Structure 1
Amino acid sequence: MSTNVSEVQLSSGSFIDVVKQRRSVRVFDPSWTIGEEELRDILQTATLAPSSSNMQPWRFLVIQDAELKQKLLPIAYNQQQVVDASAVIVVLGDTKSYEKAETIYDAAVAAGYMTEAVKEDFVKRSVGLYSSLPSEVMKGIVQTDGGLVAMQLMLAAKAKGYDTVPMGGYDAARLIEAFGIPSSYVPIMLIALGKAAKEGHPTTRLPLEEVVFWDSIS
């Protein structure tokens, strides 16, 4: 028991350090490259994020090629981190993610998390629900889930010693056209990822008294 407690304490402390040390970095070392295996590890950790009905609507376009980063540069309003970062992750939300419900829940059955009968019920209800939602409602769902996976991706990167910056400043329509993004995918954000050449600025936060309401907002 004491070993488990110690491990939990170490893990908790490490997590807090990662959260506190994460900064939005905009100046990256352009000579630094991140291997595919490490990128896969970061993305795999990110996908442990929660999502509505576990539909996992996130999709990632990983841009590492120098020419493609130059192509992305004007779309991202010429923000230099796009070309200097080791990779730019385009976070997308699939509004037809329910089409993978069978695959998702088959894996849950194989893992012993549910029976075949429960799976069939989950698939029927999930597909029925999400396929009937208005497009704006579905976009809201995948944007929420996309925000969750994006934050987890940035923390996973920081835990490996890398730096990131989430980017909302880009032309979504031009991004979709330039990179052939399917119409069912909603652009959520860009995340530049690499090694900082200049540390991100420390920032302050509002006190809890300004943002937390207990039982009633009044």
Structure 2
Amino acid sequence: MDTFDAIYQRRSIKHYDPTHEMSDEEIRKLMDAALQSPTSFNMQNWRFVVVRDKAVRQQLRAAAYGQAQVEEASIVVVLCAHLRAHALEPERYWRNSPPDVGKKLAGMLFNLYEGNEQLQRDEAMRSVGIAGQTIMLAAKAMGYDSCPMVGYDPAKVAEVIRLPEDHVLGYMITVGKAVTPAWPKPGQLEADEVVIRDQFS
């Protein structure tokens, strides 16, 4: 599928075929695409919890106020981020670069993020935001539909997936075969309102 077709055809789907299962190969292809998403300093701070287990998805549905798509979709991807990725042997993020380049960038990365919890969280949200869009567009290109979800109790979701203390939740994405099409697009704002040329007036 053409990239622009995927962008325009992607919709948030709420109803999926609960009998459909994605293959291991399809899930691997989808997540390999997610791993191509850019991150600051290439620190790859996102973490993807791919949930297929029915019992775990029942728990996630309860944490998501009973929303059916959590159980009916083929998979649920819980997007998280490691807040201290900047300190996890950062030179490995440039292992294919000249050694002096990797060492220099690792030092810059550590010095920028260490001790700055707000920046760590901000970067986490930027990273999972980009990765989530990659997942949804890749899913569409593979013939699947998806839905980004923030309607859930974060403490309960963290408990269900056993989120480590030095990680933060982003949002969840359901992926599967739609059985009900999305409503017509409710209406996009005009470009003149949201696209600013050079500076705000």
User: Which TM-score band applies after superposition, normalised by the shorter structure?
Assistant: over 0.9
In 1: Cα distance, 2:106 partner to 2:198 partner: 36
| Contact 1:55 1:100 (8 Å CA) reproduced | no
With normalisation by structure 1, the TM-score equals 0.87
For these two proteins, the number of residue pairs brought into alignment is 199
Moved over 3 A (4+): none
Instruction: From 133, 138, 142, give the equivalent of 1:156.
Output: 138
In 2: Cα distance, 1:100 partner to 1:146 partner: 21
| Greater helix proportion | 1
Match of 1:49 in 2: 37
Match of 2:102 in 1: 119
Alignment pair present for 1:85 and 2:73: yes
What's the secondary structure of 2:179's corresponding residue?
strand
Deviation string, structure 1 residues 186-214 (Cα, Å, up to 9, x no partner): 11000011000111223121110111121
User: Which shifted more, 191-200 or 46-55?
Assistant: 46-55
Gaps of at least 5 residues in structure 1 are: 1-12
Instruction: From 68, 90, 101, give the equivalent of 2:56.
Output: 68
Cα gap change, 1:26 to 1:38, in 2 (>3 Å): same
Gaps of at least 5 residues in structure 2 are: none
Alignment pair present for 1:196 and 2:196: no
With normalisation by structure 2, the TM-score equals 0.95
Per the TM alignment, residue 100 of structure 1 is displaced from its structure 2 partner at its CA by 4.4
Per the TM alignment, residue 215 of structure 1 is displaced from its structure 2 partner at its CA by 2.1
Larger radius of gyration: 1
Match of 1:207 in 2: 190
Per the TM alignment, residue 48 of structure 1 is displaced from its structure 2 partner at its CA by 1.2
In 2: Cα distance, 1:196 partner to 1:49 partner: 25
Alignment pair present for 1:15 and 2:9: no
| Contact 2:37 2:134 (8 Å CA) reproduced | yes
Percent identity (aligned): 33
Deviation string, structure 1 residues 152-198 (Cα, Å, up to 9, x no partner): 11000100000000001011111112221101111100001100011
Per the TM alignment, residue 47 of structure 1 is displaced from its structure 2 partner at its CA by 1.7
Q: CA RMSD in A?
A: 1.3
Per the TM alignment, residue 137 of structure 1 is displaced from its structure 2 partner at its CA by 2.1
Q: Aligned AA for 1:53? A: F
Alignment pair present for 1:24 and 2:7: no
Match of 1:101 in 2: 90
What's the secondary structure of 1:217's corresponding residue?
coil
In 1: Cα distance, 2:91 partner to 2:120 partner: 19
What's the secondary structure of 2:80's corresponding residue?
strand
Match of 1:130 in 2: 113
Cα gap change, 1:62 to 1:100, in 2 (>3 Å): farther
In 2: Cα distance, 1:138 partner to 1:19 partner: 29
In 2: Cα distance, 1:122 partner to 1:216 partner: 32
In 1: Cα distance, 2:81 partner to 2:161 partner: 15
